[in-house]
């Protein structure tokens, strides 16, 4: 926990309150005290955790949070996942509960980096061992506290229920969070909050279409592993796009998992395929578009960089797919 003065945060029109350290995120302080407020991404992208600040003052921890707006500031609305109390507060959330939602029993765990594996050019799998086993829905993500105010979201690639969690990340020069993760080294100790996010396979009889770009393969791998573990009978079509063959990481894992399903298929797409590639050429949307007429009843799950998810969302909308049948990462 961050050092600083302790402030009292009260829920309007109730007897509920909790202490929050100055510098600590209000959402985390509430969770620590067993007060559960609305949230989803934990990152400031979705806006689910917005509350009305009726009394007191806060400091913003992420000035460029995507879901924050000047209109919110005028209306006194704050993101409790990215705000810290600087005085005692009175807030008004849309709801409050003494119990977490089943998919969001989020907690902070001490973690040790126990294994690293290079998968492709500047792409690496990181395995952290938590101080206890923790449950989540395959496809959800965690927030890694990398120190010095660096907090980054990464999706789990493995099955729930273990003390080990796997992440797949790409190193980007000049991006502090990325560079910090890749510099940790085995034995490094960090804090990890898990789980967050609405990205998990829903129960229905509809076929499934899982679409990944780049390191977005991580939650897709997790969901496939969950489907295999439960012997899910639904037809499942996976599309995975990358720039080059070397960046099409975990391809053999995808193919192997799909092969264990009752009706699983994998289609790859490469922007720069090189010789010997017999899959689709171009972006993942170029592979997905011709298949959409056969996927009119499917539920779609998307994971990848924002430019990729935006392109797939536009394609699905143009093809008449209803928004309630599309799920995707919201942390970008």
CATH number for the domain that contains residue 297: 3.40.50.80
The Cα–Cα gap between 42 and 141 comes to: 10
What is the pLDDT, as a whole number, of residue 216? 96
> What is the phi-psi region of residue 135: left when phi exceeds 0, alpha when psi lies from -120 to 50, beta otherwise?
beta
97 lies in some domain: no
- Asked if 196 contacts 141 with a C-beta cutoff of 8 angstroms, the reply is yes
Q: Give per-residue burial for 103-140: e unless 16+ CB within 10 Å, then b.
A: bbebebbebebeeeeebbeebbbbbbebeeebebbbbb
| Residue in the structure block whose two tokens are 């600083």 | 4
Judgement on whether residues 79 and 138 belong to the same structural domain of the protein: no
Domain presence at residue 186: yes
**Site of tokens 């009119």:** 296
Is residue 101 in some structural domain? no
End position of a domain, from candidates 140, 164, 196: 196
pLDDT at 332: 55
pLDDT at position 100 is: 95
167 in any annotated domain: yes
User: Which residues in the chain come in under a pLDDT of 70?
Assistant: 1-4, 330-332
- Residue 299 and residue 202 in contact, taking contact as beta carbons nearer than 8 Å: yes
201 within domain boundaries: no
Which pair of structure tokens corresponds to residue 42?
A: 């934990």
Q: How far apart are CA 24 and CA 291, in angstroms?
A: 47
Which residue, 196, 227, 262, sits at the end of a domain?
Answer: 196
Do 214 and 291 share a domain, yes or no? yes
In the chain, the N- to C-terminal Cα span, in Å, equals: 26
Q: Does residue 265 sit within a domain?
A: yes
| pLDDT number for residue 129 | 98
Are 33 and 143 members of one domain?
A: no
Radius of gyration of the chain (CA): 21
220 and 280 belong to one structural domain: yes
Are 141 and 198 in contact by the 8 Å Cβ rule? The answer is no
Pull the structure tokens for residue 147.
Answer: 């120190």
Whether residue 39 contacts residue 140, with contact meaning beta carbons closer than 8 Å, is answered with no
Place of tokens 């003390």: 163
Are residues 164 and 66 part of one domain? no
Residue 99 lies in a domain: no
Total Cβ atoms within 10 A of residue 71 = 8
Q: Do 113 and 88 sit in the same domain of this protein?
A: no
Q: Are residues 181 and 252 in the same domain?
A: no
Task: Looking at the structure, tell me whether residues 59 and 117 fall in a common domain.
Answer: no
Does the predicted model carry a pTM greater than 0.75?
A: yes
- Give the residue numbers spanning the domain of 49: 6-92
Q: Following CA atoms 73, 74, 77, 78 in sequence, which dihedral angle do they give, to the nearest 10 degrees?
A: 10
Let me know how many helices (H) and strands (E) the chain has, helices first: 7, 19
Check whether residue 265 and residue 191 sit in a common domain. Answer: no
Q: What is the pLDDT of residue 76?
A: 94
Structural domains of the chain, count: 3
In a domain, 308, yes or no: yes
* Domain match, 181 and 78 both: no
User: What's the CA gap between 8 and 19, in Å, rounded?
Assistant: 5
Domain boundary among 196, 218, 247: 196
**Within this chain, do residues 88 and 120 fall inside the same structural domain, yes or no?**
no
pLDDT tens, position by position, 295-319 = 989 999 999 999 999 999 999 999 9
Q: Any idea what the CATH number is for the domain that residue 146 is in?
A: 2.40.30.10
Is there a single domain that holds both residue 141 and residue 77?
no
For residue 77, what is the domain's CATH number? Answer: 3.10.20.30
């Amino acid at each position: 926990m961050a050092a600083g003065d302790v402030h009292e945060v009260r829920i309007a029109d109730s007897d509920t309150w909790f202490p929050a350290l100055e510098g600590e995120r209000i959402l985390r302080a509430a969770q620590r005290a067993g007060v559960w407020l609305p949230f989803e991404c934990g990152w400031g992208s979705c806006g689910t955790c917005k509350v009305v600040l009726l009394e007191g003052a806060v400091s913003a921890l992420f000035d460029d949070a995507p879901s924050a707006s000047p209109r919110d500031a005028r209306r006194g609305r704050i993101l409790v996942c990215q705000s810290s109390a600087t005085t005692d507060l009175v807030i008004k959330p849309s709801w409050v509960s003494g119990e977490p939602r089943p998919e969001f029993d989020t907690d902070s765990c001490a973690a040790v980096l126990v294994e690293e594996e290079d998968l492709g050019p500047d792409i690496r799998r990181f395995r952290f061992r938590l101080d206890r086993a923790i449950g989540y829905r395959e496809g959800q993500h965690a927030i890694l506290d990398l120190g010095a105010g660096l907090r980054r979201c990464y999706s789990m690639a493995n099955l729930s229920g273990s003390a080990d969690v796997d992440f797949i990340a790409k190193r980007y020069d000049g991006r502090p969070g990325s560079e910090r993760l890749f510099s940790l080294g085995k034995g490094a100790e960090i804090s990890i909050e898990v789980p967050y996010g609405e990205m998990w396979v829903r129960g229905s009889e509809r076929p499934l279409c899982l679409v990944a770009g780049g390191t977005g393969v991580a939650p897709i791998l997790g969901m496939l592993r969950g489907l295999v573990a439960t012997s899910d009978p639904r037809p499942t079509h996976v599309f995975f796009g990358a720039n080059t063959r070397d960046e099409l990481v975990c391809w053999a894992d995808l193919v192997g998992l799909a092969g264990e399903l009752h009706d699983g298929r994998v289609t790859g797409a490469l922007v720069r395929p090189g010789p010997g590639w017999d899959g689709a050429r171009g972006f993942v949307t170029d592979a997905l578009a011709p298949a959409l007429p056969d996927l009119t009843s499917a539920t779609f799950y998307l994971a990848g960089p924002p430019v990729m998810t935006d392109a797939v969302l536009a394609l699905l909308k143009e093809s008449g797919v209803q928004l309630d049948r599309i799920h995707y990462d919201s942390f970008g």
